[in-house]
């Protein structure tokens, strides 16, 4: 009986101790959850990085080529691009990357005018060409790799693939040709205006890829500046469309004769247009 009473007291004592521990855990548990939640937010904040950058975009290869007799020679000039990137860190050294970019490259109409003038007839003439710019919207996803140099400075390497949306720019060529002739024995100079218009042709979304290298420098706890160089390429398919032609013949006597028609393309119905650019960009970003 005495032993039974001792054992009962021991069980009651352990029960009181266990109950006290449960009460203590109940009070501390919300604080532990709050600390874990805050720590998780801090960890997540270091995973995301968003940056915005802008810079020149240099047309290369066939995109910049200047040949009137080649369809894919686009006469593209150095333009400008603006980009936003969002990166998610899977590891301190690598992660996933997304890129949104708007790009604009003008057309070298002066070179077109010079080359067109050299290819015209022996009559006195003048060529005037006006063109819109190549405008592109680019969406890409891929991966990046970081190579840290120290706590503030690091290099990054990026490889991405996605799609580009663009349109063949509208181009208008106006040729002034001055022809001297005789009417009823009187010499007069007629002026012929020939206008050829190549209308804008919106293209379908086309596969594109990008590879780049850059450098990041931390200027604050969550703020950094970035510089990058990347090469982007795509090759959309373009339809050869009929081009409307309008011809005006004017004489000093005020007589104007007008002819209209179309230039029907020959050869294959489509061709591929390379869009290749080398972009140098500078910007800043934040970690969140």
* pLDDT computed for residue 123 by the predictor: 57
Q: Give mean pLDDT, residues 128-138.
A: 96
Whether residue 286 contacts residue 222, with contact meaning beta carbons closer than 8 Å, is answered with yes
What is the signed CA dihedral for 118, 273, 101, 90, rounded to 10 degrees? -140
Model pLDDT for residues 153-173, shown as the tens digit of each residue: 999 999 999 999 999 999 999
Distance CA 27, CA 155 (A): 48
First to last CA, the chain: 69
What's the burial of 82, exposed, middle or buried (CB within 10 Å: 0-12/13-18/19+)? middle
Domain regions of the chain by residue span: 1-43, 46-287
Model pLDDT for residues 219-252, shown as the tens digit of each residue: 988 999 999 999 999 999 999 888 888 887 776 6
Model pLDDT for residues 194-227, shown as the tens digit of each residue: 888 888 889 999 999 999 999 999 998 899 999 9
Reply yes or no on whether the pLDDT at 7 is more than 80. no
Architecture of domain 46-287: Beta Barrel (2.40)
User: Model pTM greater than 0.95?
Assistant: no
Model pLDDT for residues 38-85, shown as the tens digit of each residue: 444 444 446 999 999 999 999 999 999 999 989 999 999 999 999 999
* pLDDT computed for residue 43 by the predictor: 45
Taking the CB of residue 18, how many other CB atoms lie within 10 A of it?
A: 10
């Amino acid at each position: 009986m005495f032993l039974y009473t001792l054992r009962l007291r021991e069980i009651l004592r352990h029960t009181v101790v266990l109950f006290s521990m449960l009460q203590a855990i109940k009070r501390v548990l919300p604080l532990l959850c709050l600390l874990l939640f805050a720590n998780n937010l801090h960890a997540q904040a270091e995973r995301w990085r968003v940056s915005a950058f802008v810079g020149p975009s240099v047309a290369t290869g066939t995109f910049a080529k200047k040949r009137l007799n080649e369809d894919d020679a686009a006469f593209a000039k150095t333009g400008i691009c603006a980009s936003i990137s969002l990166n998610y860190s899977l590891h301190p050294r690598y992660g996933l990357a997304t890129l949104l970019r708007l790009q604009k490259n003008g057309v070298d109409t002066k070179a077109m005018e010079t080359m067109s003038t050299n290819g015209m007839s022996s009559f006195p003439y003048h060529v005037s060409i006006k063109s819109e710019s190549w405008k592109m919207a680019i969406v890409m996803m891929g991966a990046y790799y970081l190579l840290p140099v120290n706590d503030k400075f690091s290099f990054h390497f990026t490889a991405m693939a996605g799609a580009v949306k663009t349109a063949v720019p509208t181009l208008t060529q106006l040729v002034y040709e001055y022809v001297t002739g005789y009417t009823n024995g009187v010499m007069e100079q007629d002026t012929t205006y020939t206008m050829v218009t190549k209308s804008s042709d919106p293209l379908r979304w086309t596969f594109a890829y990008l590879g780049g290298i850059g450098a990041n420098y931390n200027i604050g706890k969550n703020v950094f500046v970035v510089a990058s160089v990347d090469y982007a390429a795509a090759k959309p398919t373009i339809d050869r469309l009929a081009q409307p032609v309008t011809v005006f013949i004017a004489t000093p006597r005020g007589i104007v004769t007008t002819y209209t028609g179309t230039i029907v393309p020959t050869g294959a119905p489509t061709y591929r247009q390379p869009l290749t650019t080398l972009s140098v960009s500078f910007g800043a970003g934040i970690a969140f």
